[in-house]
Chains A and B, each alone.
Chain A
C-alpha cells in the first residue's frame, strides 16, 4: 500500500486511484437532509454606470510616436529581507529520544512569507494531521462515508488515517472526557492514547474537550505516562492553569499548542506566559480557524499578519501555526443538501475544506488538522508541487486559447 502510494506520487499523478474511488462513492449515498432554497435573483450589487473619467483617453496618448520595436527592460524581483525567523518545532519522539514514534516531524523555521520561494526555498513543508474521535460525534455524510467502519474505534480510525488517507500525523480528540458528555476519566483517556500509539507510529496530537479544568487533569496524566513521545498538547488556553500545564508539558518533553481566539494581542500574552516554562521550540500557536464563508477572512488576515509580524522580528508571534481546518465543516454549505445546481455535496463539502486549507496555507499555516481524505490529498499534492518547484513547459501555455475540452 505505502509503496504503491509512493510510486503514484513519484509519477506526479494528481489523484491516486484510491481517491478516485473515494470521490466516486458519493453516488452510493442516499440524500435526505434538509433542502435549502436557492437564492432569488437580485440585482447585481456592483451595478451602476461607470464615471466617464474612468474611461481611457487613448487618443491623446496615441499622438506620440509609436515604438517600432520592443522596448526591452528587466523585471527586478522585489526581494525583501526579514530580521525574524519562525521557531522550528519538532513533533514526535523516536525510540532514541525516549519515545516510540517511527520518525519525528519538524515544522516552522521559515525566513520568508509562505511560499515566497523567489526569496527562500521551503525548509519544512506543512504537514497534515487527521482527526480521530474517541466516541461518536456528528459527522457530515461526505466525511462519514469514508470512516463509518471505524467510528467508535479510535485505533482503527488512526490506522486508516495514516495508511489509507496519507496523514502525516493523527489527532486524538478526547471528546469523551467532557464532564457534560461521558466524563471519562484521565485513566480511560490514557488507555485510548495507548491503543493509538500502538496502532500507528506517527507523531500524535492530543486534543482535549474544551473544559479548562478537565483538560488540564487529563493532559497531566497523558504527558506523564507518555513522557518522551513529544506529543502536541492541544490545547493550552488562557483560562487554564497555564503554569501547571506548561510545567508538565516541559517536564515530559512535549509541545504546547497555544490557542487564542483570533486576537494577536491575546496570542502574544499567552505565549509570554508560556515562555516562563517553555522554550520557543516547544510552542506552536493556533490563532483560531473559521470556516470559508463563516469568518475565514478574519482567520486568514489574522494568520497572515502574525506570520509577517514574526518575520519582522516579533518573537512572540514567531511560532509555527496550526489550523483546525476541520472547522470548515461548520459552514452549512459544506454539508447541507442544497438545490440541485449546487450538488453533489459529496464534492462540495471536501472542496469547502480544501479551499479553507489552501487559503490558510498561503497565510503561513504549518500544521493542518483536517478531516476529509480528498481534501487532505489535495493539500498534500499542492504542497508537494510548491516545494518541488519543478519548471513548467511554458511553450504550451497559450494553447488554452484554442483548447477543445
Chain B
C-alpha cells in the first residue's frame, strides 16, 4: 500500500518542546495555564486541546495551528455521531495498547429497535436504554445510542419508525438498511440528527456516499471478513468526499470468531503502528448477531452469548457495538468492563493512607478501617457517604492491596492496623475504643485487639452493608 508515507509520530515521540515551538510563546495565560510551556505539557498529556489557546486561532498562527493539528491527529479518527449534548465521539484512539497511553472515547453501546416493532415496543426499548444507569465508584454508567433497523425493507415504514424514535429520544442514532432508498426515507425523518448510516457495501457504496454527503452523516463501511474490500471501499469513499467513516469487518461469533478477532486486531495495529490511514477509523462490532442462529435456544443463553461476545469486542478494539438484549445482568458487566478498559492507566492503584472524615463525627461516632487500595477505598467511602452517616475511616497502608488479598498476602496485618490507628490521631477524637473491621479481615481480629488495645467489632464482609450494620449494631 502506498499511503504509508503519512506515518505520524508515535505518541511517545511527542515532547512538550515540539508543541511549545509552535505556540505563540507570549505566556498570555488566556488558556488558563501559567505559560505556554505548561500548556504544551498538558497538550502532550492530552489534558487540554490546542483550541483552548485563543491566540493560536489568529491568522498569523494559522500555519502553526495546522501543523499542530496534524501532529496531534490520533491514529484512529474521531467520528462524531448525533448532535447536541448526547452526541457521541467514536474512535479518536492514539494507541493500540492501553499501557502506551489512555484509550479515549469508550466503546459506545447501541440498543436496536426495528421498523416492524409496535410503537409501544419501540418506546419501551428506548426507555430501557435511556434509563439504564449504574453508579460505580463515582461514575454513572450509561448506554449511548439507538440503532434503528429496517426489517421490513419498506421505505415508508422505516421513515415512520425513525420519526417515532427521533421524537422519543435524544440519543444518537444508527440507521440500518442496505437499501439506500429505504435509508434515505429514514433520514428524511431525522435530517439534522447526524445519525451514523449503516452501511456502504460493494453493491451500494455510491448511493450511500451521496446520502452521507447530502445529510452530513458519518458512514459505516461493511465488508464481512474481507479487509481488502474494506480498505478499498474506505479509499473510494474518502476520494468521494466522505470523511467520517466507521469500519465494520463483520462480527462472527461461532465459526469465524478467530477471523473476527484477527480483523479487529489487524486493523487497529495497522492504524496505530503502521500509520495506515485507511485503517484509521473507528471499528464497529455487532454482538447482536448472537440472535441470528437462535433456533430454539433458550433466550437466556442467547443473551449470555451476546453479552460475553460484547466483552470480547470491547477488549479488542470495538469503538461501537450494537446489542439487542436489554437485560441489566447482561449489560452491567459490559458497561463496567468498558469503564475499566477506558480508565487512565496512569491512575494510581493506591490512595493516601491516614484518617478520613465523613460528615461531622463526634466523640461517639463509629471508627472503621480499610486498605489503601484505591478501589477498596472508593467503594467503602461511597458506601459511607451515601448513607450520610458521621464516621471516621482509618486508611491503612497495604501497598495497594484489597482486604482479602492483603490479609492473605500479609500486606494487611494487625501491626499495621494498630500503627495506623495510633498515627491517625483518632484516639483523641473519640472517647470509645471500638474499631469496626472489614468482615474479610476477621481472621486477624484477635491480633488487632491485642496490639491496638481497641475492642474489635467484625463488620460486614461487603461495605454496602455498613449502613445497615450501624443501624442494627452500633453503640459507642
Given A295-B349, A304-B97, A210:B410 Cβ within 8 A: yes
Interchain CB contact under 8 A, A261 and B222: no
Interchain CB contact under 8 A, A358 and B312: yes
Q: Which residue of B lies closest to A294 (CB)?
A: B375
A210 neighbours in B (Cβ, 8 Å): 407-410
- State which of A126-134, A190-198, A241-249, A336-344 sits at the interface with chain B: A336-344
Q: Does B294 belong to the interface (CB within 8 Å)?
A: yes
Contact among A14, A78, A209, A358 for B301, CB-based, below 8 A: A14
Binary interface profile of A, 354-391, with partner B (CB < 8 Å = 1, else 0)? 11001100100000000000100010001001111111
Q: Does B33 belong to the interface (CB within 8 Å)?
A: no
Interchain CB contact under 8 A, A397 and B289: yes
Q: Which residue of B lies closest to A299 (CB)?
A: B340
Give the contacts of A194-241 with B (CB-CB under 8 A).
Answer: 209-212, 237, 239
A1 neighbours in B (Cβ, 8 Å): none
Interchain CB contact under 8 A, B235 and A73: yes
Bound-complex Cα distance A82 to B18 (A): 31
Bound-complex Cα distance A284 to B199 (A): 46
Bound-complex Cα distance A343 to B461 (A): 21
Q: Does B98 belong to the interface (CB within 8 Å)?
A: yes
Bound-complex Cα distance A14 to B99 (A): 34
Q: Which of B153, B231, B409 has the most CB of A within 10 A?
A: B409
Interchain CB contact under 8 A, A391 and B232: no
Expressed in whole angstroms, the minimum distance between the Cβ of B166 and any Cβ of chain A is 19
Interchain CB contact under 8 A, A359 and B311: yes
Contact among A77, A209, A394 for B266, CB-based, below 8 A: A77
Interchain CB contact under 8 A, A336 and B133: no
B286 neighbours in A (Cβ, 8 Å): 400
- State which of A62-70, A98-106, A153-161, A250-258 sits at the interface with chain B: A62-70
Q: Does B432 belong to the interface (CB within 8 Å)?
A: no
- State which of B23-31, B83-91, B360-368, B415-423 sits at the interface with chain A: B83-91
Q: Does B261 belong to the interface (CB within 8 Å)?
A: yes
Contact among A54, A209, A359 for B78, CB-based, below 8 A: A54
Give the contacts of B312-339 with A (CB-CB under 8 A).
Answer: 312, 315-316, 324, 328-330, 332-334, 336-337, 339
A333 neighbours in B (Cβ, 8 Å): 332-333, 336
Expressed in whole angstroms, the minimum distance between the Cβ of A39 and any Cβ of chain B is 3
Q: Which residue of A lies closest to B198 (CB)?
A: A401
Interchain CB contact under 8 A, A330 and B404: yes
Expressed in whole angstroms, the minimum distance between the Cβ of B21 and any Cβ of chain A is 22
- State which of B36-44, B185-193, B251-259 sits at the interface with chain A: B251-259
Q: Does A49 belong to the interface (CB within 8 Å)?
A: yes
- State which of A83-91, A112-120, A144-152 sits at the interface with chain B: A112-120
Q: Does A50 belong to the interface (CB within 8 Å)?
A: yes
Bound-complex Cα distance A300 to B103 (A): 14
Binary interface profile of B, 273-316, with partner A (CB < 8 Å = 1, else 0)? 11010110000001011011010011011001101100110011
Q: Does B230 belong to the interface (CB within 8 Å)?
A: yes
Interchain CB contact under 8 A, B337 and A398: no
- State which of B7-15, B450-458, B462-470 sits at the interface with chain A: B462-470
Contact among B256, B379, B444 for A392, CB-based, below 8 A: B256
Interchain CB contact under 8 A, B151 and A403: yes
Bound-complex Cα distance A393 to B135 (A): 41
Bound-complex Cα distance A117 to B324 (A): 29
Given A73-B278, A75-B270, A78-B273, A402:B150 Cβ within 8 A: yes
Q: Which of A55, A401, A403 has the most CB of B within 10 A?
A: A401
A391 neighbours in B (Cβ, 8 Å): 255-256, 259
A261 neighbours in B (Cβ, 8 Å): 399-401, 405, 409, 411
Interchain CB contact under 8 A, A78 and B315: no
Contact among B288, B329, B333, B400 for A343, CB-based, below 8 A: B329
Q: Does A332 belong to the interface (CB within 8 Å)?
A: yes
Expressed in whole angstroms, the minimum distance between the Cβ of A362 and any Cβ of chain B is 5
Q: Does B250 belong to the interface (CB within 8 Å)?
A: yes
Interchain CB contact under 8 A, A394 and B256: yes
Q: Which residue of B lies closest to A297 (CB)?
A: B340
B80 neighbours in A (Cβ, 8 Å): 50, 54-55
Q: Does B201 belong to the interface (CB within 8 Å)?
A: yes
A398 neighbours in B (Cβ, 8 Å): 178, 201, 222, 224
Expressed in whole angstroms, the minimum distance between the Cβ of B386 and any Cβ of chain A is 8
Expressed in whole angstroms, the minimum distance between the Cβ of A304 and any Cβ of chain B is 6
A394 neighbours in B (Cβ, 8 Å): 224-226, 250, 252, 256
Which size bracket describes the interface of B in this complex? 35 or more
Bound-complex Cα distance A361 to B222 (A): 28
A96 neighbours in B (Cβ, 8 Å): none
- State which of A2-10, A40-48, A267-275, A310-318 sits at the interface with chain B: A40-48
Bound-complex Cα distance A401 to B286 (A): 10
A362 neighbours in B (Cβ, 8 Å): 312, 315-316
Expressed in whole angstroms, the minimum distance between the Cβ of A373 and any Cβ of chain B is 13
Bound-complex Cα distance A98 to B332 (A): 48
A382 neighbours in B (Cβ, 8 Å): 257, 308, 312
Q: Which residue of A lies closest to B269 (CB)?
A: A78
Contact among A64, A296, A386, A403 for B340, CB-based, below 8 A: A296
A76 neighbours in B (Cβ, 8 Å): 1, 270, 274, 276
Contact among B216, B298, B408 for A58, CB-based, below 8 A: B216
Interchain CB contact under 8 A, A292 and B340: yes
Give the contacts of B380-401 with A (CB-CB under 8 A).
Answer: 399-401
Given A56-B244, A392-B259, A394-B250, A49:B235 Cβ within 8 A: no
Q: Does A308 belong to the interface (CB within 8 Å)?
A: yes
Q: Does B181 belong to the interface (CB within 8 Å)?
A: no
A295 neighbours in B (Cβ, 8 Å): 349, 373, 375, 402
Q: Does A36 belong to the interface (CB within 8 Å)?
A: yes
Given A261-B401, A293-B336, A73:B51 Cβ within 8 A: no
A42 neighbours in B (Cβ, 8 Å): 133, 135, 140
Q: Does B449 belong to the interface (CB within 8 Å)?
A: no
Q: Does B476 belong to the interface (CB within 8 Å)?
A: no
Interchain CB contact under 8 A, A66 and B410: no
Interchain CB contact under 8 A, A389 and B333: no
A15 neighbours in B (Cβ, 8 Å): 297, 301
Q: Which residue of A lies closest to B176 (CB)?
A: A401
Bound-complex Cα distance A36 to B379 (A): 13
Interchain CB contact under 8 A, B97 and A345: no
Q: Which residue of B lies closest to A327 (CB)?
A: B405
6 pairs of residues in contact across A and B, judged by CB atoms under 8 Å: A39-B135, A41-B131, A50-B80, A50-B83, A210-B410, A394-B250
In the complex, besides A70-B233, A382-B312, A401-B199, 18 extra interface pairs with C-beta distance below 8 angstroms are A42-B140, A55-B80, A62-B213, A66-B241, A70-B232, A210-B409, A261-B405, A297-B343, A300-B340, A330-B402, A348-B333, A351-B330, A355-B307, A358-B311, A385-B255, A391-B259, A394-B250, A404-B114
8 tightest CB-CB pairs across the interface, nearest first? A392-B256, A39-B135, A210-B408, A62-B241, A75-B227, A392-B252, A348-B329, A390-B255
